[in-house]
Amino acid sequence: MILKHIHLVNFKKYKKASIALDNSVIGIFGDNGAGKSSLFEAVTWCLYGVAQSMEGREGVKQQDLIRDGQQEMGVEVEFTMGTHTYKVARYLNAKRGTKSRLWIDGKMQARKSREVTARIEQDIGLNVKGFISSSFIRQKELDLITSKIASERKKLINRLFNLRVYEKYEEAAKTKKKEKENELQVVQLQRKEKEKDLEQLPDVEKALQELKEMAEALKVQYDTVKKESETVKNEYASLEKEYQIYQNLQSTSKLMEKDIENTKNTIEQRKKDLEEIEKAVKKRKSLKPEYNSFLDLKKKFSSLDKTKVQYDTKVNQLQNLQTEITITQKSLEERITESKKEITSLKNQEDELKESKAKLETIREKMSELESVPQQIEEEIQKVDKIKEKEAEIYAEKAKYTSRITDLQQELEDIQSIGVGALCPKCKRPLQKEHLDELVTKYATEIAAHEKTKEKYESKENHLIEMRKELDIRIKELKKKENDLTNLKKEEHTYVKAEMKYENIQKRIIDCTVKISETQERLTKVTQRKKEVETLEKEIQKLEFNPAEYKLIKKDLEEKSVIEREMIKLDERISKKEDVEKSIEQDEEKLHTQEKEMEHVKSKLEEISDIPEKFDNVKKKKEHITQEELKISKEYTEKKTLYQERTKELERLHRVKDELKTMKKKQKELEDIILVYGILQDAFKQIPVQIQSRLRPRIRKETSALLNEVTEGKYPFIDLESDYSVTVYYDGNYYPISRFSGGEKDLINLCLRVGISRVLVSLSSQKSFARIQSLFLDECFGSFDIERRKNLLAALTQLRTYFAQIVLITHIEEVKQALPEAFLVEELEDGSSIVIKVK
């Protein structure tokens, strides 16, 4: 894998940046905090969806990678691998999430984030942690391998060389073995249960034979009783029909006796009704003259009643109209008086509120001038916050340079104090005068450069302080105006109530004026309605209705209405005479027929009088034989059911016998499979051990060659123990890495890390190993002296045989001259960063 192009949009400090990389040793320069490392964080995030700063407990969230104030970011990375060109694009929207694409040789290969990440892991041969560990070497991570405990070092080597797959295979074989062992335990347990179950087979066979003999004997006995039962049942069925006829005749006889009695009672009652009708005819004849007089009086009252309805209606209309005119006229006159009083009062209030309205207009003009003040305050406060953030950043940078200047001055004093001929505190060689002068000049130059950078930061800091003071003055002035605005709002609130009251008064004056006008119109209409009263009085006189006469006739009619009710009852009773006579005649004929039918039924009952006794005897005999049949049948059924159950049990035991044979065979198969999985588990466990034992000499060789070249033979060899602990050869002996100084330790660790990467690259053509041809070193020169830097650069140039592309990220300017290609990362005044190709 060789990086060709990186394009960023709103990633961390970058608004928009593009960088094209060649196959060479490339330098990325710039001040600390400018965003150099962010370029390659972007590469990792684009390929895997994870950035270095997102790792660990204190890692940032993915949304925190988006540049401040933006909602979306994106990174596009183009690289070559073998003969193929890959292009990966990954974009993140704070609301809509992540969108990713992968093209290989211009053809779309994946459209979803997970698919893109999976394909990158598959083709490159590393997950994100392996990719970072094998390709990115940072100063703070140089002791990643040597500082870990033995088991962790082996795991790290397994991850770098993709040997973890054998751990998975070992775990899979172990899991399968455990599953089969559990399955074998189940089979063994089931086999014991089935063998124990088969012990009862002889007893079941013997019991089954005994049940068969008992069931056959009961069957013969049951067949005999069954035949006898059928004979009795046939006899019972024959007599049952005759007995049913007997019972039906008895029931019919009783019903007929009751019907005859009812018919006689009905005839008697009808004759009494006929006598009552004759009495009613005589009484009606005596009441006829008095009833005719009542009808004449009723006719006269009916005529008066119709006139009364008209009379009552018109009298009610007259009374209602007179009442309405009186009440309405009084109400309308009072309403007009009240409205006039209200208008006078409202006009007095209106004059008082005119002055308040004028003051309100003046207040609102002042408020309009101040309405933008809160927004201005907010904007100025935001500016102050940004300046404070910038001051904090500058203070941190200034402190860093101050600390570095102090360290350099102390080192310079140490070197100046030891003099010519003493051992150099850096390389441990005797100091020559030229070398001493060179070191003093180098430290003085570096201190001066740092002092200059520090002064630049102090200048920026002073400028920011002045800006913040100006903003503080501006904010105080705006807050004073804001206070004035608050007071005006309170005053406005007071006058707004007066304004609303003024508008309400004007509206009420108009309403009262309209109300007076409408009331006067209604009063005119009420006066006109008095003519309707006169018209109604004339119509009442024309009716000539006398209420007293009406009441007298009504009272007389009510007293004589008893005669009318009596005549209606008599007419109703007399009208039934013909029906009653006809009904008596029909009932007498019906009685004659019923008596004849009754004699016929009694004759039949005498003919079959012995049937009840015969039926009772047969019924008892049937019940006895049925009980006997049920008893034998039940016993036979129980034995037969038990026989069937025992037969099924015998069949089950034979099946168990067959299953036991199969189970023995399965047990043998499981034991063989467990043996195979055990062998596989041991084999997969040993494979990484064997591979690691073969990798150690190659890593040792590559690291020793690089360390020897960088230190000019001072440390020609390193050794790797079986647990990957490191020792370094010096002056005839091997020493643990903890013995060496910080700078030497960093150099040894760097050579070890590069050596591992060289071995990875040399294995890249083989299946299952990472295919990486790019190496990134982040701030790895900080603890080295000038001579060591030159040696390391020369060694890295030699690494081009293994790495087509080596990228150095550093703030040390003097390294730039030794590189064929260089980029500068610069932070702008607004806090964003840009990338410029300078060489």
pLDDT of residue 112: 92
Examine the pLDDT at 208 and tell me if it is beyond 80.
no
In whole angstroms, give the CA distance from residue 261 to residue 265: 6
Spell out the residues 6+ positions from residue 36 whose beta carbon is closer than 8 angstroms to its own: 28, 29, 30, 778, 809, 811, 825
pLDDT of residue 768: 47
Which residues lie below 8 Å from residue 709, measured CB to CB, with a gap of 6+?
791, 794, 795, 798
**Is 444 a residue whose pLDDT tops 80?**
yes
User: What is the per-residue pLDDT across 50-90, written as a single tens digit (0 to 9) for each?
Assistant: 887 766 555 568 888 999 889 999 999 999 988 899 999 99
| Cα end-to-end distance, the chain, whole Å | 24
pLDDT one-digit tens code per residue, 696-711: 898 899 889 888 887 8
Distance of CA 125 to the CA centre of its chain: 37
The answer for 136, left when phi > 0, alpha when psi is -120 to 50, beta otherwise, is beta
Separation between Cα atoms, residue 473 and residue 377, nearest integer Å: 11
What is 117-185 written as a DSSP string? HHHHHHHHS--HHHHHHHHEEEGGGTTTTTTS-HHHHHHHHHHHTTTHHHHHHHHHHHHHHHHHHHHHH
Q: Are the beta carbons of 598 and 253 closer than 8 angstroms?
A: yes
- 726, β-bridge pairs: 720
Give the predicted TM-score (pTM) of the model.
0.41
Tokens of 423: 């051992």
8 A C-beta contact, residue 654 and residue 198:
no
Among residues 222, 47, 30, the alpha carbon closest in space to that of 119 is found at: 47
Angle between helices 128-135 and 36-48 (to 10 degrees): 150
Residue type, 296: D
Q: Residue 260: is its pLDDT beyond 80?
A: yes
Structure confidence by residue, pLDDT tens digits, 807-821: 988 888 778 878 889
pLDDT number for residue 118: 92
d(CA 131, CA 122): 12
- Does the structure show a pLDDT above 70 at 264? yes
Please tell me the predicted confidence (pLDDT) of residue 196.
82
Number of other CB atoms surrounding residue 835 within 10 Å: 21
Q: What is the enclosing helix (H) or strand (E) of 663?
A: helix 611-710
Predicted confidence (pLDDT) at residue 383 exceeds the cutoff of 70 = yes
> CA nearest 317: which of 42, 107, 482, 535?
535
Of residues 259 and 550, more confidently modeled = 259
- Let me know: does 339 contact 512? Beta carbons within 8 Å: yes
Show the tokens assigned to 126.
């590393």
Identify the weakest region by mean pLDDT among 111-125, 291-305, 648-662, 664-678. Answer: 291-305
**Residue 66 DSSP label:** B
- DSSP annotation of 813: G
Question: Please, are residues 564 and 291 in contact by the beta-carbon 8 Å criterion?
Answer: yes
Burial tier of 825 (Cβ tally within 10 Å: 0-12, 13-18, 19+) = buried
Cα–Cα distance between 772 and 803 in angstroms, integer?
Answer: 8
> What pLDDT is stored for residue 109 in this prediction?
93
Give yes or no for residue 9 having a pLDDT over 90: yes
Question: DSSP 3-state assignment of 335?
Answer: helix
CA distance 661 to 656: 9
The three-class DSSP label of residue 8 is: strand
pLDDT, mean over the chain: 81
For residues 387 and 394, give the distance between their C-alpha atoms in angstroms, rounded to a whole number.
10
Q: What is the pLDDT of residue 139?
A: 67
Q: What is the pLDDT of residue 765?
A: 45
Of the CA atoms within 13 Å of residue 193, those in its CB half-sphere come to 8
Residues facing residue 110 across a β-bridge: 102
Instruction: Map out the domains of the chain with their CATH numbers.
Output: 1-125+771-839 (3.40.50.300), 373-530 (1.10.287.510)
Neighbours of 112 (CB within 10 A): 13
pLDDT of 293 higher than 50:
yes
Q: Which residues of 141-151 are buried (b: 16+ CB within 10 A; e: fewer)?
A: bbbbbbeeeee
Interatomic CA distance for residues 392 and 398, integer angstroms: 10
